Amino acid sequence: MKNLLLLLCLGGLFLPDGFKEKQLQHERVSTAYREKHLILEKLLQGKGLSLQHLELYLRAFKHEKTLEVWARNSPEQAFQLLTSYELCARSGTYGPKRQEGDGQIPEGFYVIDRFNPKSNYHLSLGINYPNASDKLLGHPKPGGDIFLHGDCVTLGCLALTDDKIKELYVLAVEAYAQGQTQIPVHLFPIRFDSPAFAQVKKKYAQNPKLFSFWENLQTGYFFFEQHKTLPTVTVNSTGNYVVE
């Protein structure tokens, strides 16, 4: 109990809903806080940010095998790139996930919708796949249970090392505890302004449906690249994303 109270003091104010307190009751989470709290605090301070006012945005790229963590202190600020993690395991190929068991990592606009401190893959953060677009465009059984997790293995999820999922999990707990109950996660096949994208397009030249889907994703990608703030993303009746 003494360690738990210490961790609560380190991490910020006690919250009425007890979310952070409940998370810290799990051994893996409390260990992650002991190992990573001060490291993350210094990292944020170097950007003029703090754990006590944290908002997060995550985006991942299949081709580059990279997960970017962006942060800011308030909605009025632009996001700053806080750190990047290597996706240490990958399954499937370019293109969205459309069916249960296809091994694909999704592509699209998502949010973190659950925290699993007792994951089979050390710690995990659930992604709200299938979203409204996936349900309209995918198979009647699109699958589910897509996570950001540790253990460096995957079949359709985004895998980090245990060391890095500890950092990401602590950051996500802090952001959620400060009131950011919707942490955006944007999943892309590749950086759309990368020279490598020309080669990917050539490889999939006979798949106009995939090209159309990627053109739809690019609207969100380039909005963030230009403004460093997040667009409002909705889904229309045909399953396409509408970015504003």
- The residue from 122, 149, 152, 186 that is catalytic is 149
- The residue from 122, 152, 157, 186 that is catalytic is 157
Is 9 a residue of the active site?
Answer: no
Q: Which three-class secondary structure string do you get for the chain? A: CHHHHHHHHHHCCCCCCCHHHHHHCCHHHHHHHHHHHHHHHHHHHCCCCCHHHCEEEEEEECCCCEEEEEEECCCCCCCEEEEEEECCECCCCCCCCCCCCCCCCCCEEEEEEEEEEEECCEEEEEECCCCHHHHHHCCCCCCCCEEEECCCCCCCCEECCHHHHHHHHHHHHHHHHCCCCCEEEEEECCCCCCCHHHHHHHHCCCCHHHHHHHHHHHHHHHHHHHHCCCCCEEECCCCCEEEC
Is 157 a residue of the active site?
Answer: yes
- Residues designated catalytic: 149, 157
